[in-house]
Structure formats: C-alpha cells, structure tokens
Structure 1
Amino acid sequence: MSAVIDMPAVRGKLTADAPLAPLVWFKSGGAAEWLFEPKDSDDLADFLRDLDPAAPVMALGLGSNMIVRDGGVPGVVVRLGKAFAQVEQLDATTLRCGGGASGILVSSKARDAGIAGLEFLRGIPGTVGGFVRMNGGAYGREVKDILVQCEVVLRSGERRTLAPADLGYRYRHSDLPEGAVVVSATLRGVSGDKAAIAAEMDRIAAEREASQPLRSRTGGSTFKNPPGDKAWRLVDAAGLRGFRIGDAQVSEKHCNFLLNLGNATSGQIEELGEEVRRRVKADSGVELEWEIQRVGTPSPLQGRGPERGGVM
C-alpha cells in the first residue's frame, strides 16, 4: 500500500504501511496506510485538525471484534496506547476511564473501589473506546446502563463531550460520528461489597473460559443475537458447528465464534461468515447480522477459488 497522504507533524508515533495482523485477535489482514499512536489527546486533536479532510480515519482498540481485510486499511488507523489507559476514581461510584483502558482493567478498578454494576466489563474483550462506540454488553448489561458521558475527538479535531442520549444507542450500535475517537468515558455503578463484586467477576471469567474459545485466534461474537433467539443456536441448528473454509472454522466450542486455525486469510474468514449467514437463512429463515466489524479493502483474490481453499 503506497503512503500518499501528506501527514501533519505529530509528537506521538506515526508509521507508514504498518501491518495490522499482529494487532488483531484473528492475526490476519493487511496493513494500515498509516498507523498513528498519539502521545495524548492534544496530539490527536491537532493531528486530526491538520489532516487532509478527505483522509479516512479509524480507531483501533484491542482488535478483538474485527476483521481487517487483506487489502489493508486506507487512510489513518488511530491506536490509543498507555497514555489513554488510565482509570481514575472520581467519587464513591464513578470512574473516569481512558479510551485505551481494557474492560478487565476497568472492572478490576471498580472492584477495588467497591463499585458494583461494572462486573460485566470483565466479559468484554476490548477497550473503553470500542465498547462505548458499540454499546458493548454481556451478561444482561450494556454500556448504556453505566455511561455518564464520554469525551471524543471528532474527525475535524474538535473535542466534544457526549451524553448517552447523544449516542443513539441500540443493540451493539451507536450514532458516534465516523472518524470520531473516544478518548475517555465516565462510568457509574453503585456501592457494593468488594468480595461479592470479586466473586461475580470470577464467575464471569470462569463461564467465558468454559464456553468460549478464548485461547484461539478468534474475533469474539460474530453475529448479533436476533430478537428472541441466540445466533449460536441458529448456526448449530443449521449443522455448521466445525464447518470450515480452508483454515477458517466455525468454533466447535461456541458456534457464534469463527476461528483462524493458523493460515486463514481475512477473505476466507469473511467468506466463512457469509456462508454461515446464507445457510442459516436457508435453514431457519433468519438473516443473521454481523456484529464483528469488517474494515478495509478486500484482496483482489477474495472470492476466487485459490484463496477460498478447501471447504470442510
């Protein structure tokens, strides 16, 4: 991918043609035209303000719920590092969390502060920026239930504070503007017993370990649950448990997870997902919707026989 965008000066780290596969859970996909790791919020705001308005911008967290297509991602990928991973207690029940802080870190800080209601974040494998954007949820709770406000830097470089009402939250979706980056979020729970909070977090961790292929190259939950049903049940009922295209496989442990068994391309993983959607629709009449973000440019080979590989 050729680096053709004229880049503003930065204080953080700016890398051209940066491989993204090492940064995402599937360990597949192409490069970012530019990867920007800002030093702080000012660095990010100045950069976006001075960047060519035509250049696309995408935020990247832990890469846990994302397929980066094999042709790579045009424009700029923004990755928030340690400077954005701080968690600060504001009062007895409120935390201010950097956009790069993980769900595990936030829930652990809440536990240590005796703040209940944030335990479910232990079950979300992502960062604050990602689960604020996607209204991340697990175990009956969603980010909209605990979010007080979030600080974002818009694509224009303008800073803005948004309340939940501004985000238009739905199931795994928000109206956060394209190119906006969540740099922090204020989350509120309720006072709770530290031992009880720890026990609930341990239960969530054990349940995830028992039911999900967490130690595999995966992208987490692939499809949204349709109203009144579970995506995994529909995939299983269609006989797709363990179904493969090359090294891309439907998990045998949890049918709503796709796996990279070793050498799957992102094209094969996405093709597998589309085949699952097609077969579930034929079997049950339900059209599954993608929950995983699919970003970037497909390889010119995507959909051709040589890339497809063997189907099992």
Structure 2
Amino acid sequence: MDYVIGLLRTLSGEALAPTTAAFAIAAIGLNIHFGFTGLINMGQAAFLLLGAYGFAISITNGLPIGVAILVALLCALVFALILGVPTLKLRGDYLAIVTICAAEIIRMVGRSSVLTSVTGGSNGITGASFRNAFTDLSPLPDGQTTILWFTYDNNGVSGWWIRIVGWGIVALLCLLVFALNRSPWGRLLKGIREDEDAVRSLGKNVYSLKMQALVLGALIGALAGIIYVLPSSVQPDALGRSTTFFIWTALLLGGAATVFGPVLGAILFFVMRLLIRTLAGEFIPSSIMNGQQAEQFSYVLVGVALMLLIIFRPQGILGNKKELSFSV
C-alpha cells in the first residue's frame, strides 16, 4: 500500500511539473491550428524554440524581462508570417511536409557553429544565464512550502513560482480558447476546417483567417517555449521533431477542437510515460531492460496507445466525433 501511495504521489507531481504545463500550452496553440482551423502543422516545435531563443538571448544581453517576452513573441510572429505567406494555400500532407521542414531549419540554424556566440550552437544557452530575471519577479519568500504532499522550493529551478506561472498561463489560455470558440471568429475557423470553400462563398477571406489562426497558435507556442526552458536550458536538439510529435500526441489524446483536451492530454502523456518507466524499473530485471531501454519502451507503449486511440476513438478522450474529422 505504501508503494502505491508513493507512486501516486510521484505521478501527481509529474502532472504538475513545469514541463507538463509547457506542453499543455504548446498543445493549446496546436489546437488553434489543427483542432479549430484544420491546419496540419508539424512544426510547432519551431515556435517553442524561437520563443525560447528570443527570451534567453534578450535576457543575456541585458534587456528587461518584459521586453524579452515581447522579443520572443515577435520572433514567433515574424516566422509565422514568413511561413504562412507561401504555405497556407497548401492542404493536408503538403502543409505538414513544409512545416516540419521549416522547424528543422530553425533547429539547424540554432545549433549552427556560426552562431555559437549568439545561440550557443549545439551546446545551447545555460539556464543560469537567463533564469534569475524570472526568479526575481517572484513574490514568494525564500525557502520551501508544502501543500498536501507536494514539497518544493518556493523559487527554485523547478519550484512553486514556475509552477504557478506555468499553470496560470494554461488557465488563462483555456479561458481565451473558450471565449474564441464561441465567438464569430471561432465559428469561422471551424467552418474553414469543415469546408473552406463554403466559407469563401460567404465572402470571407479564408487566407486571412488562416493566417490569424497560425499567428495566434505561434504566439502561444512561443510562451510554451519560455516556460519549457526556464527550469532547464535552451537546447536546440531538445526541441526538435520529437517534441512536435509529443505535442500532437497530447492533443490527440485529450481531444482536438476541445477546450480542456490539450491540457488533459499533456498530463496523461507525461504521467503514462513516468508510470511505464517506474513499473518497468521496479518489476523488470535490469538484465532484461535497463533504465534507458525502459525510457524507450515507454515511448513505444504510448505510441501504441495513440494508434489504438486513433483507430477506436479518433476524437480523443474529450472530443466530439461528429465535430472533428481527420479528412482535412
């Protein structure tokens, strides 16, 4: 019984982790693209990386944190416009191919040795060089605080302050999506997802609406990138193709075109991975499966679970099958 209680506490701690909050934010941005507009963006990680770089480089060059956040959002905005102008007339697989290539370009540019003095190259930017500006904003006193069974430093690398900010942003974005979903603008986006020719026949500028959705999701992705790197560091290879696939997994698991689906999906994604790793390490001998293999095994099982979900419940846990179609 003690083992089960300890395991549940560990899993709940993973559910509240800053990384989980960052992925929930990123999935909300992707939900604007795919869930509501039908844009198959396979390069969401690029917006996270641009937000992380914009924020970290600005702080390390002496800019205040407010300006650094604006720079991060501006980087994502500019890239969304550059990406959207030639690609938003593409549909389906073609858009997916272009966006995943664009994300790889951003990652390779970030890790290029030519830009080592700016981006840190393949080594990235250490968190100690930009994290203090965020920590200094904390109203919490130094020390530790225990709430229920959670005990963290108030202002540590992965403490209460970053958790409060991260999940506070998640809550605000859920309210924003809830409001937009019920607005005329949100209904137009869903109309584009279902049949953009019908929306165009009503005299609406489909291209402009797609661009607005792309930019909004990109800005949300940049915020996710900032939250993601605050407890750690900016590493270009940590925000590559696999990150985009993880964000897609979280979105489809929770349910696209829903308000809380991306959040639920992100929590379940990280909790399931940790549960698999923990049980594998506990009950499978190291001679059969070591820790690194257990990590890879967790990805395999999560992937299988996603495949079964797409086959038997394509709308996800919270989604509505009548509303969402994968034939975009």
Per the normalisation by structure 2, the TM-score is 0.24
The structure showing larger relative contact order (alpha-carbon pairs under 8 Å, at least 6 residues apart) is 2
Structure holding more strand per residue? 1
Per the normalisation by structure 1, the TM-score is 0.24
Structure holding more helix per residue? 2
